Homo-oligomer: A and B are copies of this chain.
Amino acid sequence: MAPFMLSLVLALQGQQGPVVSPEVKADRTVTFRLRAPKAAEVLLNGEWKGGGKLPMTKDDQGLWSLTVGPLEPDLYGYSYAVDGMTLTDPSNPVLKPMRSPRTSVVDVPGDPPRLHEYQEVPHGTVRLHEYASKALGRRRPLRVYTPPGYDRDPAARYPVLYLFHGSGDTEATWTSFGHAHLIADNLLAQGKARAMILVMTDGHAVVGPEARARNVEMFGRDLLEDVLPFVEANYRTRADRESRAIVGLSMGGGQSLTVGLNHLELFAWVGGFSAAINNPEVTVASALADPAATNSKLKLLWIACGKDDGLVKNAQALSEVLTRREIRHELRITDGNHSWPVWRGYLGDFLPRLFAEGK
């Protein structure tokens, strides 16, 4: 058989997919499968509780499998360890967008569907852009969510939430894995949140050895000098501070608190989800310098962290500094650890608080 025809046959066999993985059943148990006839050991690593290093079993066809659960309805990352090498699931087209992509995604739906799930409601649109960052001297990706109906009324203008991911993620993670667009669609349909634009940037402005020292600063410059002007030039935004919010998770929470609290002339709604923020006396100094002015400008300062998250001490330390200066804020210490199920929930709690009139 000619090499081309052989590869076509193999591609078609792959297409017809004898290996189905993951298989999510109605009882919320999930079966994972991997064909690896030569492997001596295959482990499944999943992000659900108790999902670490689960040994899989090989049948006489070289197909490894394991059934877990029932799992709580949510989206989870997982990967295989095949004789010590980390592999994504070759039968699953859904990958978590990451700088080092090693994680496939399993979606365990709820009944009724959870807030992050696709539901039969009007849907907004996620739009992909690239822009030339003058601050960073390179091309950068950007995702923008526009709410349902955005294209129908060319006169309507919308408030904007700038929404940042964590270390290792990309500008695609908040939609592909966080389902931010679906959370916004569902809250809007339920009358619980306002129609808004979401702007999701790439948080890794500086990579390599200089990242720790310079990433937050250069990320902030790119945001204010490039992203914000791009969004306001290309979208029908309400371009006043009371129509701009800023929030992020983990590394992105450090970015949102630092940029937001030092730029209250631009942002009236500020949040941090499990924020990686240190030395608040230094990093948010300009907000601390004049508490009365800060209180008069802030519509909302919302800080949340899971009690099993190593960063909970940072959230508490920030809250203590703010309390000492009598700066109004909300501190939510919740169940959960440093993980996306927690952050999807925070976004569901945060969006309804934004852009309320008369606050």
Q: Which of B16, B36, B167, B211 contacts A211 (CB 8 A)?
A: B16
Choose, from A53-61, A79-87, A280-288, the stretch at the interface. Answer: A79-87
Q: Is the CB of A4 within 8 A of B310?
A: yes
**Taking the complex as formed, is A129 at the interface, i.e. its CB lies under 8 A from any CB of chain B?**
yes
> Which residues does chain B contribute within 8 Å of A36, judged by CB atoms?
85
Q: Is the CB of B123 within 8 A of A129?
A: yes
Q: Which of B8, B38, B98, B234 contacts A93 (CB 8 A)?
A: B98
For the residues of A in contact with B, the DSSP-based class is loop
**Taking the complex as formed, is A33 at the interface, i.e. its CB lies under 8 A from any CB of chain B?**
no
Contact status of A85 and B88, CB under 8 A, knowing A16-B207, A211-B16: no
> Which residues does chain B contribute within 8 Å of A86, judged by CB atoms?
90
Choose, from A99-107, A319-327, A345-353, the stretch at the interface. Answer: A99-107
Q: Say how far A198's CB is from chain B's closest CB, in angstroms.
A: 13
Chain B residue with the shortest CB-CB distance to A128: B126
**Taking the complex as formed, is A337 at the interface, i.e. its CB lies under 8 A from any CB of chain B?**
yes
**Taking the complex as formed, is A170 at the interface, i.e. its CB lies under 8 A from any CB of chain B?**
yes
Chain B residue with the shortest CB-CB distance to A97: B93
**Taking the complex as formed, is A133 at the interface, i.e. its CB lies under 8 A from any CB of chain B?**
no
> Which residues does chain B contribute within 8 Å of A310, judged by CB atoms?
2, 4-5, 8
Q: Is the CB of B101 within 8 A of A90?
A: yes
Q: Is the CB of B90 within 8 A of A100?
A: yes
Contact status of A125 and B132, CB under 8 A, knowing A14-B168, A17-B208: no
**22 examples of A-B residue contacts, CB within 8 angstroms:** A4-B310, A11-B168, A15-B168, A15-B204, A15-B211, A16-B209, A16-B211, A17-B100, A36-B85, A38-B83, A38-B84, A38-B85, A39-B85, A83-B83, A90-B100, A93-B98, A95-B95, A118-B130, A123-B129, A125-B128, A127-B128, A128-B128
Known interface pairs A92-B101, A128-B128; 20 further A-B residue pairs with C-beta atoms within 8 A, sorted by A's residue number: A2-B310, A4-B309, A4-B338, A11-B167, A11-B168, A15-B99, A15-B204, A15-B207, A15-B211, A16-B209, A17-B99, A85-B85, A86-B90, A88-B101, A90-B102, A91-B100, A93-B98, A93-B101, A95-B95, A118-B130
